[in-house]
Structure formats: structure tokens, C-alpha cells
Structure 1
């Protein structure tokens, strides 16, 4: 199959499969479930079969007269990593969903939007034109919204409202950036933007800010992260897994192509991303320490892990010609986070399937006698904390080496502070994961031994992900070879000479892990864990802390809403008065006695009067239409805000 046909298959097959899946679901649910597994497996096998071809040459497809400027698709080694991970995770999560979704209602609706999100996500990763990418990006935001509110509880709708407001706001800001970019460069093709942007002057910083804002919302970067800790716990576990594992990476993908393709090695832009990365890393890890809901802990954990990736992207820009190690660490950590975070969310879903609860206070000791489940969770834990022998160890050390390289080149107190934040945040990761592990598998009474246990189809995806964590951790060169090909897109050539399992790297890893153990013992055990009458209770003191959403965003939006309402009211009343004035004058003109020499029977005068009256009527109709449209907008805004 040619490259063009392959791309056409990637973009059309999931969409056609979604339609067939929906129709089968209306006939019989079992038909739909089998078909979804089959179609996602076919897609995964097909993408896997493209591995050698993609490494040797780029695939391109141009379909003119679509979306105005044409549909431009491209698949190279860099994009292939995202596409392959997406097809793998969707297949595994679909298998997992069969058992998980049994007790849910409206399953056909869930699967339709689940598969549409799959299709649009693939579209984001293979789009070569930013307008195409934006279109798929917004479709993805809209199709993932029903997944978040699927349970239709109050908390689900609140999470969905926050998610869709942030998604739409981010999309509008991103679109504004693309408008400016096209206005100054006359192109939105990624391959042409590097040269085009270099000629537009300092306006590029405004454009970069707008585009990075839009992608930053989806990446969960501070202070645009407010949707993330609400959406993940609200959605069913399979949806949470793809939200954290894949959808966050669409934002990261957008930031990487923005900084790497359009603004390569720009020190100012990269410095801002670096600061945002450290901030996101630290705040996400800190807030995760206090959480009691497993999925909410994992949500803040994902936020923190996105901070690591943003730090890597920022280091790529400020290191310039020495950016290879930062690129390898960034892409390696993206791969790692997809694998271990999906495993951990599926594990949380397994707990929920049995108990329909996720608060660790009410599930203490659930996994005491569930050894297979315990080991799977432990593998995910070891992966995320960077334990030697597991996948996270490799990427965290690569990122740490890149940070050390930047500190060696530039020095200064800020990068030194950044290194401390890096180590402390890694300690936070160990502490909050240890908190979950101890609460679920070691503490509490052995009262869940007779609970209904999860099915084998639920275990299979988790086992595959756990094996991947071990394989990638023990065989880092397997991933490094793929990243080496992907690095060519960013002007990086050659291998990185690093002994991954050197004594220094192992020591560095155990320093952060040891720090995390101390945080767990001295802070979590002493201040967040209360024992009363032999009953263990974890407390969350952040519930009374300052909230960006409640203390900044909501008051700000309400203020803007009131100001705009006042301005529009003044404008509306002024417009109505103007229309009435024009209408009255028309009537007066129509009542003026006009004599026409040839208008013997008065028909011409009657015709003019009708025309004047009709004009006044049309103007009044336009006014009322504008008013009704304004009311509709106000109703929508009020619904979203409240």
C-alpha cells in the first residue's frame, strides 16, 4: 500500500468503524463490542506494519478543496510514535471497557463518542496543516466532553462544564493565533513556517503566546489545568485512561511542533515553557500528596508529569545545538507516561468495578489478598517513580542530564532552583504513590477477600502494559532507536552517549526515591493520616486552600459577563431607539402629500407608502432578531457558568 493510501486508511477507517459500531449497537450490544475490539485491533496491526516504511521515508497525502486550504496529512517517525501509542492504548482500553461498562446505561452513546475521539485524535497527530490540526483538535474536545459527563451526575456535569469552557476558550485563543500567523506568513503548513516566521519580527511572540495558550489548556499546564483534576475522576475509568494517557499528549504534541518547527531554539519562548514546566511539575505533585480519591490523585500526578515533559521541551529550546539529550528525554517520558499512567487508571477502575468507591478511606485494604493486582499496581508505581529497571528510570535520568547540561552552560540561581524542584517533585511522586499503595494493599482490615473480583478481560490490558514497562526499562535502546529517527525532524542527528545504568544514575534515582519515602513518613503519615480508635482516616487540607478556579477565574468571568451585559444593553437600547427614529421618519415621509402629474389614480403614491412602511418593518425585524440572538447567547453563557 502506498503512503497516500496508508494515510487515507488511517483517517477514514476509524470514522467508518464508528458508524458501523453505532448501527451494530442498535441491533445487539455484543455485536458492537466484538466489532470495536476487532476494528481497533486491525488499526493497531496496520499502524504497526508501517514501522519500517515510516523509518525509511515520510508519508504524505494532499486532498485539495477540503477545509478551504486542502487536507494535508503527514506521517514521519516523530508523528508515528504518537499514532502507534494511540492505536495501542485505544485497543487495550476498548478490551477493558467491555467488562467495565457492563453496568452503565447509554453504552452505545459512550462508544460512539469514544471512537469519534479516537478518530479525531489520530487526525491531530497526522495533520501537516495547522488549520487541519485545529479542526481535529476541536472535534476531539467536543467528542470527549460526553465521555466526561457520561454518568450524568452533578459532579460529572460540573466537571464537564469546566472542561468544555476551558476547551472552547483555549480553542478560540488558538484560532486567533492561527489567524495572525496566516496573516503575517500566508501559510499554515508546518514545513514552511520555520522560514516564514523568522521574517515577521517580534509579532511572533504574540502569535506564539496565543498558540501555546490553546495547546497549554489541553496539556494541563498551570494555570490552565483546572479542568484536569475534575474531569479525570468524573469520567468512567476507560475514558480517564485515554484522557490522561493520550489526550494530554495532543496538547504536548502541539507545543512541541510550535517550539520545534515554528520557533526552533527561541530562548525567550523556551524559557517561558521551562518556567511553566517547573511550576506545573511542583504544584501537581504537591497537590497530589493531599488527595484521597485515587483518580484525583492520579489526575494531579498527570499534571505533574506533564510538567516534566514541558521542562524537557523548554530545555530543548535553551540548549540549542546541545538539545539532543533533552529531546530524547522528552519523547521517552511521553512514551513512558502513556504506558504507566494508563495502567494506573485501569487499576483504579478495577477497584471501582468491585466497590463503586474510590476514596481511600473507604477502600483501605482492598488489595491485601489480591496478589496479581498488587504486582500490576506495583509495576506501575515503580515505573512512575523512576525505579531502576523500570521505564520511568530512563526518561527521568535523561531529563535530569539535560537539566544538568543547561546548568553547566548557563549556571545561575534559577536553573539551580529548577534542579531542586526537579528532585523534590520526583520525591513527591514517590510519596503520593506510596500513600496509595499502602492504603490499598497494606492498611485496613481484610474485609474485601470475598468481594467480586475483576474479569480476565480486564486483566489482559493491564498485564500487557505492565510487561511494556518492564521491557522498556530493561531495553532502553529499543526505544532510543525509534527516537533517533524521530529526532531528525527537529534537526538532531546522531546518538546520545549515555550509560543509562551507571552508578551515578542509579544513585540519583534512589536519592529522589529516598526523599519521597521521607516525605511519606514525616509528612503524610504524621499530618495527613489520623488514627482514632484503630480507625485510619486520611485528611485533605487543600479543600480550604486558595483556588484558581473559584478565587480568580469565576469572579473574573462574572465581572467580564456583567461588563459585557451592560455594554450590550446600552448598545441594544441605542440601536432600538435609532431604529424607532428611522421608522417614525419613514412614516412621516410616507404621510407627506406628494403630487405626481401622471399619477391620476394615486397608485404611485400608494406604492411609495408601502415601500416606506415595509422598510420600517424590516428594520424593526432586524432589531428584534439581534435582540433574540443576544438573549440566546446570554442564556448559553449563564448555563455554562452556573
Structure 2
């Protein structure tokens, strides 16, 4: 009972803290900041205290009459991975925020929505019923939207529109998938999905596709990633850090439930996820090379790193009974990415706190004499590129081994192509991180000489130091996480264990070769093609700004065309409906007005004869309004509501066509 109460506290504490913190902030901001750090610390501590209990058996809590079907919460080792990293990162970023936001406006609003986002994110990971999960998923979209538009300038609002538009569209697609899922299976409980989906036929592929699109949009899955490179630079850095390190994982969490649990690693779905993972991995890294804003580089980097996780998800289904290495690599990279990516964002945030600028053309040379900042950022760089001795090496090596296993199993040229994409994408990671590090921390620029120590407090450096220590600790002793990951693997009915002997000559050699490839990409492409010189000054260009843009050149025109077509169709239908109504009304009125009175139309001297001439004249008079109504058919009546209905009808027709 105590464990179930703790589970409920973990869910409710951030939401209650958001309200209390907002009230405190109206009186004293120092008290509010201390309170928020304390509450996120308590949240993390409660999660730590549940560790041993979760390793033994799951904690389950059901509260009826909430959301119509009840609130069904579950904390097993699989979910614990996500909850642990979420509460850990939130505690550190909350502490970091107290320094970062000193000169920002609307701080009270920021902290309220920051804590509400934590509450909804934890709710997602604890939900055992997908309808509960969907509810928290939508709450998270709206609360995180407030973080993205925090600056309230034109760019922030534009980024917020992209984010919210994609979030709502993805949510509606996800909801359609859940409607179909419930219609065919009569359940939305995660533990019951596999057995019920097994026998519903090929409709399961449509259902899983809709759900994966809904979750994949949040996970920055191509081609629904367009919100990512806009939202990260717009949001304050602590919000960017959790967007990249944690909120992307909510989409990953949903994809894992769909592919591994609901579809039981179906080969077709796993192949699709694998291919999309390779696309994400390559495109994210390639586009990151061209960017000049550090946060936008890291945003595309998050897209690429999400690709590694998606490749791991796909490999689990492809490898079938040999999936152990893939699932271990996937879980390790989920944890590792959150740690080193948040560290890198915090490093970028330190620079922005001082200079209010993140373009490497402007801030180049800033970190040359900032020893501590340079050191911490370099640790993050070594982690993400997979340098031996750092945590990224562990997860990338495991994923690489899983790919090799799949290659041996299928003996196809496509796996050779996958190996090439994996290696080149890893090289891209090295190249774009070197672009940041050399420009900002190695180049000479005397105007930034000095340590700027007066701008930085320990509460900003401490979280980065902790993350740096964790990066090295996991890299040198990956067995620290092994008990948790072994228990998480068991939740998917996999009892096989792997022996950690990753620091072999072959693994280290492979990592070093990949890093050298990245160095060559940096020297041959970034330095030779993207870096230009103007006299004694050098600067980077970004040719990709003029390339085809999915949001600008496809999504916006496509939505405008759909709206114009549906508006024109319902413009016509609206005219017909309205004018036919007027016509019917006038016709009925005219007909009801005809009263044949024999006395009026009787011919003189003959009781039974009718004066036809007068009768026709009266009928003509009674129906004269009909000609006016017929003329009204040409009226131009337009209705936005009909246009929206038409969009819904078109989407429904497309869905029916897909079903049949």
C-alpha cells in the first residue's frame, strides 16, 4: 500500500508543486526557486527509493471513475528507466533554471508550466492504459508549448505554432488509431493488447501505423520532425534540454509499446521503423552540419540520435530470438542520450546567458579561455561521438553489434547499406560537434578574453558537473545500469543475458575509425565548403536555407490547397442547401395560401362552373415569390464550418479507402 501511495505521489507532486510554486512566486521568487528545486529533488528521491521494489515486481495502482475508464498506473522496470531519467534530468535542469532565468521575464509562468510538463511526462510513463497515456500526452503538448513561446517574440510564436500544429495533428491521428484499436479489441490496457491484436487481421497494420505516426511526431521521426529545429532555438535552454533529452522519449516510449508489446515485434512494422530510423539518423546528422546556431545544431542532432534508438527498436523485431543485444543497446542509448544531450544544451545555455547569442559566426573564440566550460562541453562531445571511456560508446557499440547480428542472419546487401549509413551518420556527429567546439572553444578572439566568472553561479555549473561525472561513470562501468536494464528486458519475456566485454580491440578500433571518418568530414566538407573567408575574418554559410523545406514547401501549400478545395466544394453545397431551404419554405407558403372558394370563382347562372381565368390569375399571384426564391439560388454564401466538415469527410474517406 505504501508503494502504491508513493506511485500516486510521484504523479501528483509536480502538479501540486506547480500551483504552490506559482503562489510563492507572486510573493518571493527566491522561495519559489528553492521550493521547485526541493520538490524535484523529492520526486527524484522517491523514484530512487522505489528502485529495489520495482526490480522484484511491478507496482500497480488502479483508481476507478477517472477519465471514464479509470486511472490505471503501473511502474515496472521498463517504465522505471524512463521515470528515473526524467526525474533526474528535471531535478538538475530546475536547479540550472534558477541561474539561467535571472534576466528573463515571466519567470513565474515558466516554472508553473515547467512543473506541469514534468507531471504530464511522468503520467505518460506510468500509464498502463493507452487512453490515460493519450490524455497525459496531450496535456504535455500544451504545457510544453508555453515553454517554447516563453520569449513571446515573433520567432518564438512561429516556432510555437509549428510545434502545436504538429502536436495537435499527431494527437488526432493517434486518437483515430486508438478508436480503431478499441473498436477491434475492446481494450486499451497495454498488457492485454498483444493477445487481442493478434487475431484482428491486417487492420492491425493500419492501427499501428496511425499510433506510430502519433508518437513518432513527438519523437522527431522523419518526415514529421519539422517542429524540432524551430522549437529548440526558441525555447529557453532548460526547456530545450528537456525537450531534447526527455520529451522526445515520450514518443519513443509509445513506439516501443506499439512495436514490441502490441505488435510483438512484427517483421513488417519493425522493418518500417528500422528504415525510418536510418533516415532519421542520416538526415538529422547531415542537416546539423549546415547549421550555425548551436541549439539548432543540437536539435538536428537529437533527430539523428532518435534515429539510433529507432534502429534499435526495429532491430529487436528483425532479430527475433536473437534480439537481446538490440534491446540492451536501445535501453542504454535512451539513458545515455538524455544525459549527454542535456549536458551539451546546458553548455550552450551558459554561453547564451552571457552573450545572448548562439551563432558560431558571432561567438567564435568565446570559450577559448573558459577552462571549466570547455572541459565540461568536451566531455559531452566525447560522449555523443562514442569515444571509448564515455557512455555513448557503450550504447552505440551494442547497437552496432545488433546490426552485425542482423547482417549475419539475413545476408542482404541492404544490411551493408545500413552499415554504411550507420558509420557515415556517426561521422556526421563527430563533424558537427567539432564544428561547434573548434569554432567556440579553440579559435582566437581577443574580445572574449576573460573568464566572465561574475555571470556564472555554482547552481549552473553543478548540474553540468554531475552530468559529466555520470557520462564518465557509465562509460567506464556500464554494469552500474545492468540490473535495471536486465529487469526491463524481462518485461518483454526475454530471459537471456549478455556479458559486458565491450572494451575489446575490435570495438575500440571500430569507434576510432568512425571518429577519424568524422574528422575527415569536418576537414573536407565543413572547413573546405561551409567555411568562407572575407579578408581576415572567417564565417560559416548555410546553403540548406534555400533547399526544399518540408514545412514551407510541402505542408503549408498542401494545407492551403486542401482548404481551398474543400471551401469551394462546400461553397457550392452551402448555396444549394440554403437556397433549397428558402425555396421549400416559399413553396409551402404559396401552396398553403391557395384556397379555392367556389363562390369567388363561380360563373354567374351556373353553380358548378369555375371561372378558369380568375383561378389561374390567383395561382400565379400566390406563386410569384417562387421566382424570387429561384433567383436566390445564385446567392454566394460561404461557410467556414462546412469547409471544416469537408476536411473531416475527406480524411474519413481516405481512412475508409486505406481500410479496404
Aligned to 1:612: none
After TM superposition, give the deviation of residue 21 of structure 1 in Å: 1.1
After TM superposition, give the deviation of residue 416 of structure 1 in Å: 0.8
Aligned to 1:606: none
Aligned to 1:324: 324
For the Cα contact (< 8 Å) 1:444–1:536, is it kept in 2?
no
For the Cα contact (< 8 Å) 1:352–1:358, is it kept in 2?
yes
Distance of 2:289 and 2:469 partners within structure 1: 27
Aligned to 2:509: 507
Aligned to 1:576: 578
Deviation per residue, 1:555-588 (Å, 9 max, x gap): 1111111112112222322222233234435645
For the Cα contact (< 8 Å) 2:96–2:460, is it kept in 1?
yes
After TM superposition, give the deviation of residue 277 of structure 1 in Å: 0.3
**Alignment of structure 1 residues 171-570 onto 2, 5 Å:** 171-450=171-450, 451=452, 452-570=454-572
Aligned to 1:637: none
Does residue 39 (structure 1) correspond to residue 35 (structure 2)? The answer is no
Deviation per residue, 1:426-451 (Å, 9 max, x gap): 11101110110001111131321344
Distance of 1:124 and 1:459 partners within structure 2: 30
Distance of 1:244 and 1:512 partners within structure 2: 24
Distance of 1:177 and 1:338 partners within structure 2: 29
Deviation per residue, 1:319-366 (Å, 9 max, x gap): 011111000000100100000000101111110000000000000111
For the Cα contact (< 8 Å) 2:479–2:500, is it kept in 1?
no
Q: Secondary structure at the match of 2:491?
A: helix
After TM superposition, give the deviation of residue 35 of structure 1 in Å: 1.0
Q: Root-mean-square deviation (CA), in Å? A: 1.8
Deviation per residue, 1:244-300 (Å, 9 max, x gap): 010000000000010111001210000000000001000100011111100000000
Does residue 62 (structure 1) correspond to residue 65 (structure 2)? The answer is no
- Please, what TM-score do these two structures have when normalized by structure 1? 0.92
Change (3 A) 1:10 1:591: farther
- Please, what TM-score do these two structures have when normalized by structure 2? 0.89
Structure 2 unaligned regions, length at least 5: 598-636, 647-660
For the Cα contact (< 8 Å) 1:3–1:61, is it kept in 2?
no
Aligned to 2:6: 6
Distance of 2:575 and 2:123 partners within structure 1: 46
- Runs (4+) of structure 1 exceeding 6 A deviation are 592-595, 631-634
Distance of 2:592 and 2:504 partners within structure 1: 95
Distance of 1:400 and 1:586 partners within structure 2: 78
For the Cα contact (< 8 Å) 1:90–1:118, is it kept in 2?
yes
Q: Secondary structure at the match of 1:151?
A: coil
* Number of aligned residue pairs: 605
Q: Secondary structure at the match of 1:68?
A: coil
After TM superposition, give the deviation of residue 594 of structure 1 in Å: 12
Aligned to 2:623: none
For the Cα contact (< 8 Å) 1:265–1:319, is it kept in 2?
no
After TM superposition, give the deviation of residue 112 of structure 1 in Å: 1.3
**Which deviates the most, 476-485 or 354-363?**
476-485
After TM superposition, give the deviation of residue 494 of structure 1 in Å: 2.8
Change (3 A) 1:548 1:485: same
After TM superposition, give the deviation of residue 36 of structure 1 in Å: 0.7
For the Cα contact (< 8 Å) 2:155–2:234, is it kept in 1?
yes
